[in-house]
């Protein structure tokens, strides 16, 4: 009897140990995915710029009450300013399963008179779509609700993202009227005045039609592939939310992109034009899925002109 009892205890102990080991491996694997995706993101545009002197840095601001650890943002605000500042909200890439707010290419615009926020959001291994767009919209609303505290102009906000972040930025721009995705700070709006989309996926419906997408990041985002996710794939596609009241778009994409075909951005830009939305499409010859090409002086000038036109000039006209 004693021996049999020992065997049962030993068996349950082993089972608990195995369960704990499996949980630990899952955590390690998730961390590895995030690290790999973050490394891939850094390779897309080079080392992340760092804040310089004259910029106030607010780290890990929670934009969701009692939220997940990923529902935080960093904020960079030029100091010694006596006026409200237009805001750039950066949404990182990483296949919706990795990446981090720590990698924020637009941070250099904080030296150009913009407040810059860099947003983390729940990743696909934590929650499936629409959690990601809910978080991005919640971050915009939180920033508006706290605009005065951080010297932000709540009426002049641009959202900008790369790859998966480009997809989410585009969805913020085209789905500003989707009430089902609005959570927290309901008194504030998540609608923005301008969108910069770097090589984001505009149409996710192939996930529901093409078996080649079965193990893709898009399938992980939606929680599966095939006809079972057809409706969710449509909801997650910025191109299917386009309407004439969408904000101006700047879309930038490399013609040698092997991850997201440039045709995605061509079709998206055409849909925006047909709806009467102001859109500029810049196709970078020889560029792939990101890379230093996107922050070359010529492209920075294009971005500066776009932000100046739709955040600064419109802001000046409104105040006159």
DSSP symbol at 183: -
Q: Measured between alpha carbons, how far is residue 26 from residues 31, 32, 139, 220, 313 in Å?
A: 8, 10, 28, 16, 50
> Tokens for 40?
């891939």
CB contact at 8 A, 254 and 293: yes
Mapped onto helix, strand or coil, the DSSP state of residue 155 is: strand
Give the containing element (helix H, strand E) for 250. strand 249-254
- In order of 87, 255, 290, the CA distances from 90 in angstroms are 10, 23, 15
**Residue 255 DSSP class:** T
User: From CA 93, how far away is CA 96, in angstroms rounded?
Assistant: 7
Residue 36's SS3 state is: helix
Q: Cα(91)–Cα(106) distance, rounded to whole angstroms?
A: 10
Just list the catalytic residues.
163, 257, 289
């Amino acid at each position: 009897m004693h021996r049999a009892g020992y065997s049962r205890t030993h068996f349950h102990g082993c089972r608990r140990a195995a369960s704990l080991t499996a949980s630990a491996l899952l955590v390690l694997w998730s961390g590895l995915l995030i690290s790999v995706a973050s490394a891939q993101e850094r390779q897309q545009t080079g080392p992340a710029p760092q804040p310089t002197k004259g910029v106030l840095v607010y780290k890990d601001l929670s934009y969701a009450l009692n939220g997940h650890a990923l529902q935080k943002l960093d904020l960079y605000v030029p100091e010694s300013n006596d006026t409200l500042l237009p805001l750039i909200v950066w949404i990182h890439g990483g296949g919706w399963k990795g990446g981090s707010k720590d990698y924020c290419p637009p941070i250099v615009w904080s030296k150009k008179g913009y407040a810059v926020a860099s947003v983390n959001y729940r990743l696909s291994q934590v929650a499936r779509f629409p959690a990601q767009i809910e978080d991005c919209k919640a971050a915009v609303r939180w920033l508006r609700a706290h605009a005065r505290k951080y010297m932000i102009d709540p009426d002049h906000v641009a959202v900008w993202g790369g790859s998966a972040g480009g997809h989410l930025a585009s969805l913020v721009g085209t789905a500003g009227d989707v009430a089902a995705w609005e959570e927290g700070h309901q008194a504030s709006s998540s609608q923005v005045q301008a969108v910069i989309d770097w090589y984001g996926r505009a149409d996710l419906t192939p996930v529901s039609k093409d078996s080649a997408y079965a193990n893709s990041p898009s399938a992980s985002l939606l929680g599966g592939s095939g006809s079972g996710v057809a409706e969710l794939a449509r909801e997650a596609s910025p191109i299917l939310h386009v309407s004439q009241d969408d904000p101006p778009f700047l879309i930038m994409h490399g013609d040698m992109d092997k991850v997201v075909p440039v045709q995605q951005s061509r079709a998206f830009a055409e849909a925006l034009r047909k709806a009467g939305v102001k859109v500029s499409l810049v196709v970078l010859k020889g560029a792939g899925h990101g890379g230093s090409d996107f922050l070359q002086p010529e492209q920075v000038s294009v971005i500066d002109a776009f932000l100046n036109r739709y955040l600064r000039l419109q802001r000046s006209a409104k105040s006159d």
